[in-house]
Structure 1
Amino acid sequence: MINSTRGSFFILGAYFDPGAFKYLYFMIVVSLYIFILSINLLLIVVICMNRSLHEPMYLFLCSLFVNELYGSTGLFPFLLLQILSDIHTVSAPFCFLQIFSLYSYGSVEFTNLAVISYDRYLAICCPLQYHANMTSHKVAMLIVVIWLPPFFAVFITTCLTASLQLCGNIVNQVYCNNYYIIQLACYDTSVNNVYELIAASLIVFAPMSVIFYTYMRILKVCFSGSKQTRQKAVSTCTPHLASLLNFAFGACFEILQSRFNMNSVPHMMQIFLSLYFPTCQPLFNALIYGLNMSKIRIICKSLLLSSVRIFQLH
């Protein structure tokens, strides 16, 4: 039994010795990270540099892509170091910083998807009043709502966890996880549990309610509207629904991984399930929006063609 302590470091117990495959795993992960950075940066630059894309929907998408960069940076550099390392430990301050980064990433992601669903609801259900309802001031306020409350809620969660007296330092994950560290606490964690319930109502149930309400209204308009309205709804909502479902799957994997006994699942599959949420969502969002949003696709294609022509001239 380890004495009660706040802990100076944690041991990540989910890693194993990959032997000769270490550098193969490293190359796969670094390639994935570079691709995620490149495609999300490209989309951010395209939206920021083209005035035709300075519309609410694209500004909310830009916020989403910025969050993908933020979440990826909170995981991938750390993961790459751990793959190459023989000793899988992490200092307590960095561990809590990573918890803050990944949990705030997930919270902002969900809030951002809720705001996009609200924007699509206004565009489809109230097209004539859309620009009157979605003013530049309102867009700015919604972007603040996307980022500020999740950061504040996760900051308090992280501080509460960091203040716990711990009776262990082994985290059975490949990155720092708030739930696993709370499980190491020596004493009652009811304050943490009560606060997390309150925080969940703010950053989970509130966005979920917005998404549910807006899509019920969109479906109602689709069933009663014209063919053109249905086509518009399908073309603009399909990427958002795909992103939302992928996010939900990733969140479910994370809950299953941390809350239930997964000993019967192969170890490599456990690692994949734990990494699905912070790795696949940044890649999936960039691809699904980049390929499906016609304005973004056309501008990206023209930029790439221009770059190829300039390269050929030189």
Structure 2
Amino acid sequence: MKNVSVVTLFTLSGLNYTVENRVTLFSLTLLCYLIIWIVNVTLILTIIVHRNLHEPMYIFLCNLCINGLYGTAGFYPKFLKDLLSPSHVISYAGCLLQSFVIRSSIGGDLSTLALMAYDRYVAICRPLMYHSVMTKRRVSLLVFFSWVLPLYCMLIKTIAVSQYKLCGSHIHKLYCSNWLIGKLACSTSIASSPISYFNIFFYFGHVVFIVWSYIYLIRTCVKSQKNRGKFMQTCVPHLISLFIYTVVVLFDVMYMRFGSRNFSQSLQNFIAIEFLLIPPVMNPLIYGLKLTKIRNRFLVVFTIKEKMGSV
């Protein structure tokens, strides 16, 4: 406890680049962030503007895209600033806020993917009950809790982390994480471990529910040609999105806890940000290309533009 100090700034590692590469890295990162905004906002506005897309499945998809923008906002602006700055530091409060935003967005993604799995389960396995189960009021409540519960879970964890007495201020990552702040602690809060285990089991329950839903869906669809068509059209995008998201998040979590420092710095940085890059870009593209109603809306818009351009 002799080394306990009042930490007001954290130093982030990973940005070991030459001056010549600074502009290139900044330009590529800014381009990636702009692409994330363009594809997500396009899909969000498409769903909002067209009334025939005001269905639970598309509302949950819109929520997924909004959550993607929320999570990336916790990383990219600060990262872009660091690329142009000689010192890569973040305030204590800013570090806690960044960790809160990024981690709560992960929880929000899982909650929304669970809702999408539930929606497809009711639509395919209980079609006669769909409109009585997925009412506007119930959908609104589900969306509300998909935001409130992750924010609450991460808020409690962030409050617990803020009670740590720290013996260091260097974070070996491009952004802040409660886990890495905890590794700097001289002693941890008594309440921290139960909170962490609760959050783990809570979201593990989401994963179990999603897996169970799709196992049941697949078993149901095998017996019916009509349901098989519904599954291929609406469930396959969910499964692709879920697979991509699960792989990149688990890879980040496992590497953060058990990964080797022998990897090159560039590879470590990619592993650290892949879940902030791949799902936010891929989700709108996957759903936009696969879901018929959204794809048709895009085709109508482009057709109108082509006709106007030829006039």
SS at match of 1:186: strand
Please say if residues 237 and 286 of structure 2, whose CA atoms lie closer than 8 Å, have aligned partners that are also in contact: yes
> Within the alignment, does 1:217 sit opposite 2:216 as a pair?
yes
Deviations 1:15-45 (A, max 9, x none): 2123311111111110111111011111111
User: How big is the shift at 1:70?
Assistant: 0.7
- Aligned counterpart in structure 1 of residue 249 of structure 2, from 239, 248, 251: 251
Q: Distance in 2 between matches of 1:41 and 1:199?
A: 30
Pairing 1:196-235 to 2, within 5 Å after superposition: 196-202=196-202, 204-224=203-223, 226-235=224-233
Q: Distance in 1 between matches of 2:86 and 2:220?
A: 58
Pairing 1:174-213 to 2, within 5 Å after superposition: 174-202=174-202, 204-213=203-212
SS at match of 2:167: coil
Q: Which stretch of structure 1 is more off in the superposition, 260-269 or 55-64? A: 260-269
Q: Distance in 2 between matches of 1:211 and 1:259?
A: 25
Letter in 2 for 1:216: I
Q: Determine the structure 2 residue equivalent to 1:103.
A: 103
C-alpha RMSD of the superposition: 1.7
> Within the alignment, does 1:94 sit opposite 2:97 as a pair?
no
Task: Give the paired residue count.
Answer: 311
Deviations 1:138-169 (A, max 9, x none): 11111112111110000111111122110000
State the TM-score, normalized to the length of structure 1.
Answer: 0.94
Q: Percent identity?
A: 32
Please say if residues 239 and 288 of structure 1, whose CA atoms lie closer than 8 Å, have aligned partners that are also in contact: yes
Deviations 1:118-138 (A, max 9, x none): 000011111122111111111
Letter in 1 for 2:158: T
Q: Determine the structure 1 residue equivalent to 2:59.
A: 59
User: How big is the shift at 1:2?
Assistant: 8.5
Q: Distance in 1 between matches of 2:124 and 2:93?
A: 46
Q: Distance in 2 between matches of 1:253 and 1:19?
A: 31
SS at match of 2:187: coil
SS at match of 2:17: coil
Structure 1: stretches of 5+ with no match in the other structure: none
User: How big is the shift at 1:310?
Assistant: 5.1
Letter in 1 for 2:56: P
Pairing 1:66-85 to 2, within 5 Å after superposition: 66-85=66-85
SS at match of 2:11: strand
State the TM-score, normalized to the length of structure 2.
Answer: 0.95
> Within the alignment, does 1:293 sit opposite 2:291 as a pair?
yes
Q: Which stretch of structure 1 is more off in the superposition, 134-143 or 190-199? A: 190-199
Structure 2: stretches of 5+ with no match in the other structure: none
Deviations 1:204-248 (A, max 9, x none): 122112212211211221222x21211211221111011111111
Q: Find runs of 4+ consecutive structure 1 residues off by over 6 angstroms.
A: none
